[in-house]
């Protein structure tokens, strides 16, 4: 019995240890998107989002990333577009106020990292591979990345907007997140 207690005591710190916790600094972080409408490029940003990040590059098997985005906070600077985006034909903010990404696995790549997870937007969940770079300097971290999405796969753009005739189906999403160590 004593041997089991000693083994349990030795193993407990290993199994109880966790990856580093990071608090994203919303005022220093940016989440943007870009698309094309009637042949003209446009950009926009989400001003309200949150991220819970547990990540240590040496312990990627324990990494977890959860990002929630208040889709009503999307703005492009164009009054007509900004008025339409929260509506039922686009983000349907009344029915689906948030988009959410939750990682299932984080791995190292030749150029940085990749989070494999699920993106839920307008109630539709699709697998997403999210590439990013990561710089850690003591208690501060910065993650940057880009991903291309097909808005029609999530039902963003209904009715006459469902095709790419007026607004392209491809949307680029960029993020530049700054964080500080929370533990």
The pLDDT of residue 18 is: 61
Q: Which residues of the chain have pLDDT under 50?
A: 1-16
Average pLDDT, the chain: 91
pLDDT of residue 178: 97
Q: Which domains does the chain have, with CATH numbers?
A: 19-181 (2.40.128.110)
DSSP the chain: -HHHHHHHHHHHHHHH--PPEEEE-GGG-EEEEEEEETTEEEEEEES-EEEEEE--TT-GGG-EEEEEEEGGGEE-S-HHHHHHTTSTTTT-TTT--EEEEEEEEEEE-SSSEEEEEEEEETTEEEEEEEEEEEEEETTEEEEEEEEEEEGGGGT-S-GGGSSTTTB-SEEEEEEEEEEEE--
Query: In this predicted model, what pLDDT tens digit does every residue of 17-41 receive, in sequence order?
Result: 568 999 999 999 999 999 999 999 9
Write down the pLDDT at residue 167.
96
- Kindly report the pTM of this predicted structure: 0.87
């Amino acid at each position: 019995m004593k041997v089991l207690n000693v083994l349990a005591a030795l193993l407990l710190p290993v199994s109880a240890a966790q990856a580093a916790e990071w608090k994203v600094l919303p005022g220093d972080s940016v989440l943007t998107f870009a698309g094309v409408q009637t042949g003209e490029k446009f950009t926009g940003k989400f001003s309200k989002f949150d991220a819970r990040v547990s990540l240590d590059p040496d312990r990627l098997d324990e990494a977890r990333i959860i990002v929630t985005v208040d889709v009503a906070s999307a703005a492009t600077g164009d009054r007509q577009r900004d008025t339409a985006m929260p509506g039922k034909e686009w983000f349907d903010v009344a029915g689906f106020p948030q988009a959410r990404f939750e990682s299932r696995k984080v791995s190292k790549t030749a150029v940085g990292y990749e989070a494999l997870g699920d993106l839920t937007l307008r109630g539709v969940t699709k697998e997403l591979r999210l590439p990013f770079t990561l710089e850690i300097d003591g208690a501060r971290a910065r993650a940057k990345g880009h991903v291309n999405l097909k808005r029609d796969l999530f039902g963003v753009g209904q009715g006459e907007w469902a095709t790419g005739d007026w607004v392209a189906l491809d949307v680029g999403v960029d993020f530049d997140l700054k964080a500080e160590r929370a533990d």
